[in-house]
Every structure is written in structure tokens, then in C-alpha cells.
């Protein structure tokens, strides 16, 4: 009797230990053209249904990190030198990009990359598996149009003629057609008006909540990103230099200085020197 209860108590504990996180990236190093090191030992974790931001300046290695996970390094002659990327404990590095999509990883590329000569309807259709059921297609398409009603109005215009915001919506909607467990978004706010950024971020949060999709958000707009995510990683020169809860990071003076536009009390005379001293060079 006592042993039984002890077992019952132990089980959930053991379960949380055994169940691996949705995504675990450990110590990954990626080089382009075998020469240029873009990320130098990045580790990160994302739980099922979690929402994590990857912040950093230009060239910090944010996009490379996403491409490592989605497998889109090869077209740019990038390769993983060491480290591992696991989806629910399964090593995904040997898989080609389409196989990773079937496992539930989808990557919304920077700069939207909609199929410009296809209508939004066709863009969504193209992302749906060829052998999927017709009813499922209609359901998913309906869902996308519910998230983004504006797309429904323009569903018969060529996507190349949509506005930047509409294209971004279409890129996210298209990714949802693959029914992902992990949705990776690369700079969804790029080139969009602040109002639109707010709208799109609101929808991203909704997708995360309603569908239990893990979201990995790459952003230069750190202020907006930290508002919606629970955790964040800070990348600098290919290294993770800081990570933690979004609320904590928001209070960090260095983060405020570099990513949130400062506190307003900067001594401009010393700014260059200060920046140089504070950069996390390896």
C-alpha cells in the first residue's frame, strides 16, 4: 500500500524528467562556406506551447539559428560543425527541410517570401500536404482567414501585389497550414507600421494560446517582443550572452541600454567608450 502511493507520487515527477522539451539546441556551431562562423555554440530550449524570443542586433546569428533548426542553411552554403538540435528528443539535423516540416517545424522567413504569382488562396494550398484531406484543408484555410480577415478580402489577388503587412500575415497563415508544433518567425515586424506590428503580435500570441504551438520569435524590435514572450535569449556575435524571463530581462540595465532604447540619461560624450566596454565579445 505505502509503496504503491510512493510510486504514484513518483510518477509525475519522473514524467517531467523523461519528456524532453519541444526543442533543445545544444552547443551548435554553424559556419558559412566553411569559413565564416555565424553562431559559435548556441544552446537554447523551448517547451511545448512555450513562447521564446531571440533578440540581438544585426549579424548576431538570430536568423542562422532559425535556419539551423528548419534546415534551410544548405541553400546558403551553411553547415553545422558541431552540436545537436532535437525535437522532442529526436535528432533532426540529418533530416532535409521538408521532413522537418512533417515533424511540425515551420519557419516563416525574414522578408516574408510569399509566392508572389500565386493568390493567397493558392499560397495556403501550396503549403498544405498533397495527401491531406479536403475537409482539413478547408478547416485550416478557414482558421487562417479567421485570424487574418484581411486576407480573405484579398484571397484572389496575386500575393505579390499585397501590402507588406498583408504579405506578412499570409506568410504566417501559410505556415499554419502545415499544422506546426513549433512556429519560428524571423522578424515579423520588419518594415511594418507600429499599429500593424501590434496587430500581428497580438495574433501571434493568440495562435500560441489557442493551438498550443511553441513559438520562437526572432526580433530586432526587442521592446515589442518582450511584451508577448515568456522567456528570451540575447544573442551577440554568435553567442548567447544572456537569457531568462522576459520580465527580468526588461529590468536589466544593459538590455535597456542596448535593446530598449536606453533610460534617457545617457552621457553621449562617453557613449562610444561605454558601448565598446559593454560588448560581449568572446
Partner 1 sequence: MDIAYFIELLINGALTGMMYGLAALGIVLIYKSSGVPNLAQGAMVMLGAYFAWIAAAQWGIPLPFAIALAVVGMFLFGLFTERFLLRRMVGQPIIMIVMLTLGLEILLRGLGPGLFGAAPKSLDIGIGLAPIIIGDVFINRSYLVGAIVGVIMIGLALLFFRTRLGTKLRAVSDDHVASWSVGISVERAIAISWGLAGASAVAAGVMWGSVQGIDWTLSLLLFPAVAVVILGGLDSIYGVLVAGLIVGILGSVIPGYVDPIVGGGTRDVVTSLIILLTIIFRPHGIFGREDIERV
**Interface with partner 1 (CB under 8 A):** 70-72, 75, 96-98, 101-102, 106-109, 113-118, 122-123, 125-130, 158, 160-161, 174-175, 177-178
Tell me whether residue 92 or residue 255 sits nearer to partner 1 (CB atom): 92
Ordered DSSP codes for 223-245: HHHHHH-SEEEEEETTEEEEEEE
Q: What strand order describes the sheet that includes 51-56?
A: 105-108, 182-186, 214-219, 51-56, 231-236, 239-245
Q: Least distance (Å) from partner 1 to the CB of residue 4?
A: 46
> Rounded distance, CA 188 to CA 83, Å?
27
Tell me whether residue 56 or residue 71 sits nearer to partner 1 (CB atom): 71
Q: Which residues pair with 55 in a beta bridge?
A: 219, 234
> Rounded distance, CA 238 to CA 209, Å?
30
Tell me whether residue 94 or residue 264 sits nearer to partner 1 (CB atom): 94
Q: Least distance (Å) from partner 1 to the CB of residue 57?
A: 24
Q: Least distance (Å) from partner 1 to the CB of residue 174?
A: 6
Q: Least distance (Å) from partner 1 to the CB of residue 38?
A: 17
Q: Least distance (Å) from partner 1 to the CB of residue 73?
A: 11
Tell me whether residue 161 or residue 280 sits nearer to partner 1 (CB atom): 161
Q: Least distance (Å) from partner 1 to the CB of residue 183?
A: 11
Tell me whether residue 125 or residue 203 sits nearer to partner 1 (CB atom): 125
Tell me whether residue 107 or residue 239 sits nearer to partner 1 (CB atom): 107
Q: Judging by DSSP bridges, how do beta strands 51-56 and 231-236 pair with one another?
A: parallel
Amino acid at each position: 500500500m505505502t509503496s504503491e502511493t510512493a510510486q504514484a507520487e513518483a510518477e509525475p515527477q519522473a514524467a517531467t524528467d523523461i519528456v524532453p522539451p519541444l526543442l533543445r539546441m545544444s552547443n551548435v556551431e554553424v559556419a558559412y562556406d566553411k569559413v565564416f562562423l555565424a553562431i559559435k555554440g548556441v544552446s537554447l530550449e523551448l517547451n511545448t506551447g512555450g513562447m521564446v524570443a531571440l533578440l540581438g542586433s544585426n549579424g548576431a546569428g538570430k536568423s542562422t539559428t532559425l535556419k539551423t533548426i528548419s534546415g534551410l542553411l544548405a541553400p546558403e552554403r551553411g553547415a553545422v560543425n558541431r552540436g545537436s538540435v532535437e525535437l522532442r528528443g529526436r535528432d533532426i539535423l540529418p533530416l532535409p527541410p521538408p521532413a522537418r516540416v512533417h515533424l511540425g517545424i515551420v519557419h516563416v522567413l525574414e522578408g516574408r517570401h510569399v509566392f508572389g504569382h500565386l493568390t493567397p488562396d493558392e499560397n495556403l494550398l501550396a503549403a498544405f500536404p498533397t495527401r491531406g484531406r479536403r475537409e482539413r484543408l478547408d478547416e485550416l484555410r478557414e482558421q487562417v482567414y479567421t485570424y487574418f480577415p484581411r486576407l480573405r478580402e484579398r484571397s484572389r489577388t496575386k500575393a505579390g501585389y499585397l501590402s507588406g503587412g498583408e504579405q506578412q500575415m499570409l506568410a504566417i497563415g501559410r505556415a499554419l497550414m502545415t499544422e506546426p508544433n513549433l512556429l519560428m518567425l524571423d522578424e515579423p515586424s520588419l518594415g511594418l507600421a507600429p499599429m500593424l506590428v501590434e496587430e500581428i503580435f497580438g495574433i501571434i500570441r493568440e495562435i500560441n494560446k489557442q493551438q498550443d504551438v511553441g513559438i520562437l520569435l526572432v526580433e530586432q524590435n526587442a521592446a515589442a517582443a518582450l511584451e508577448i514572450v515568456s522567456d528570451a535569449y540575447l544573442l551577440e556575435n554568435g553567442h548567447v550572452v544572456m537569457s531568462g524571463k522576459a520580465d527580468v530581462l526588461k529590468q536589466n540595465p544593459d538590455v535597456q541600454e542596448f535593446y530598449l532604447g536606453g533610460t534617457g540619461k545617457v552621457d553621449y560624450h562617453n557613449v562610444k567608450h561605454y558601448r565598446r566596454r559593454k560588448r560581449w565579445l568572446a
